[in-house]
Amino acid sequence: MSTRKHTALPKARTLIEALPWLTRHHGKTVVIKFGGNAMIDEELKRAFAQDVVFLRHAGLRPVVVHGGGPQISAQLDLLGLESEFKGGLRVTTPEAMNIVRMVLAGQVQRELVGLLNEHGPLAVGMTGEDAHLMTATKHYADVDGERVDIGRVGEITAIDPGAVQALLDDGRIPVISSIARSNDDEDTAAGAPGVFNVNADTAAAALAAALGAETLMVLTDVEGLYEDWPNSDEVISRLTATQLEKLLPDLASGMVPKMQGCLYAVRNGVHTARVIDGRVQHSILLEIFTDEGIGTMVVPDANTIEGAT
Ligand SMILES: Nc1ncnc2c1ncn2[C@@H]1O[C@H](COP(=O)(O)OP(=O)(O)O)[C@@H](O)[C@H]1O
Ligand SMILES: CC(=O)N[C@@H](CCC(=O)OP(=O)(O)O)C(=O)O
């Protein structure tokens, strides 16, 4: 006679914990912004790709918008060019714009597409230039109330999500670099199509809203939004749009585009926007498939803090 211990029971419980979420979110679009420092670690990148493919096979429609600030800075450094940020945005000369485009579309995006496609013919890379996905106008930074010219940095004025929708309908995972086409008069007059460097958090939020996404998920290199950064590491787990709006003026530069993006998303139809720790392996699955979640969740005002999921 032999007996068998069911050691896999905790795994089954975890899967069952995910069932209500899966039922609710089946067929829904999730825009995931993968950025910065989490993208430097090889294991984290692989785990990220596994999570995204898992979501796709679980019946969701994931879209990846990626950053690459550290990679751009490293490349500029190799070329002897300095990185300067104003109001949290990179001062982008025409020369730097070429490097930004080369690094984002030619390096970071290609690598992510490659990692995702290790699991099958799923990922398709594009930039905001493709099929008029993102159109932008020149953006001026606000530095202590002053309007400052920071070069070829763009502010999104229009999104045509048709090509992304078509890819999603075809079961693909779009991977998007945050570069937008310009339709500014001076670029048009110059004869060559102009492009702009757009902060990837801002691009992800605008795309999430344009796609009518259920969720915007922003991966970063901290646990979430700290209540009193840098004095305390108390993470705010949930807050409403209005509560976030009140906090915005006190936030420091890296968090500003992220939280502005979350606010824009939930004010424009996205049900929840979450900032989660990209340094934790499988953070996307942890956020989604466990009751507690991790990180910070922003919900629209109509939701009560307790009631939102
Ligand atoms: N209230 C806050 N909570 C958490 N992080 C904050 C806060 N204010 C500023 N930060 C800073 O923002 C950084 C995240 O922004 P950023 O470096 O642009 O991230 P990423 O490279 O992931 O896009 C954190 O590492 C932290 O230094
Ligand atoms: C205008 C602007 O600042 N653009 C960013 C685009 C990349 C980005 O946003 O990357 P992370 O998400 O990794 O920071 C930049 O040039 O660094």
To test the pocket of ligand 2, the residue of 108, 138, 197, 217 to mutate (highest count of ligand atoms within 8 Å of its CB) is: 197
Percent of the chain exceeding pLDDT 70 equals 93
ipTM of the complex: 0.95
Residue 275 in this model has a pLDDT that exceeds 70: yes
What the block records as the tokens of 244 is 């976030």
pLDDT at residue number 304: 45
The reply to whether 81 falls in a domain is: yes
The secondary structure of 130-169 as a DSSP string is GGG-EEEEEEEEEETTEEEEEEEEEEEEEE-THHHHHHHH
How many Å apart are CA 104 and CA 286, to the nearest integer?
A: 27
Residue 169 lies in a domain: yes
Any domain includes 92: yes
255 CA → ligand 1 middle, Å: 5
The pTM of the full predicted model, rounded to 2 decimals, is: 0.93
Q: Is residue 284 part of a domain?
A: yes
Owning domain of residue 268: 26-299
Closest CA to 179 of 238, 284, 92, 266: 92
**How do beta strands 215-220 and 272-277 pair?**
parallel
Residue 124 within any structural domain of the chain: yes
**What is d(CA 146, CA 140) in angstroms, rounded to the nearest whole number?**
9
Calculate the average pLDDT of the chain. Answer: 91
* pLDDT tens per residue across span 68-117: 999 999 999 999 999 999 988 999 999 999 999 999 999 999 999 999 99
For residues 214 and 25, the answer to whether their CB atoms sit within 8 Å is yes
What average pLDDT score do residues 164-186 get? 96
Q: Is residue 167 domain-resident?
A: yes
| Collapsed DSSP state (helix, strand, coil) of residue 291 | coil
Q: Which residue has the tokens 């751009």?
A: 72
Ligand approaching nearest to the C-alpha of 253: 1
* CATH code of residue 107: 3.40.1160.10
Q: Is residue 197 part of a domain?
A: yes
Cα separation of 300 and 209, whole Å? 13
Number of structural domains (the chain) is: 1
User: Facing residues of 194 across strands?
Assistant: none
Query: How far apart are the C-alpha atoms of 239 and 272, rounded to whole Å?
Result: 10
Please indicate, yes or no, if residue 239 is contained in any of the structural domains.
yes
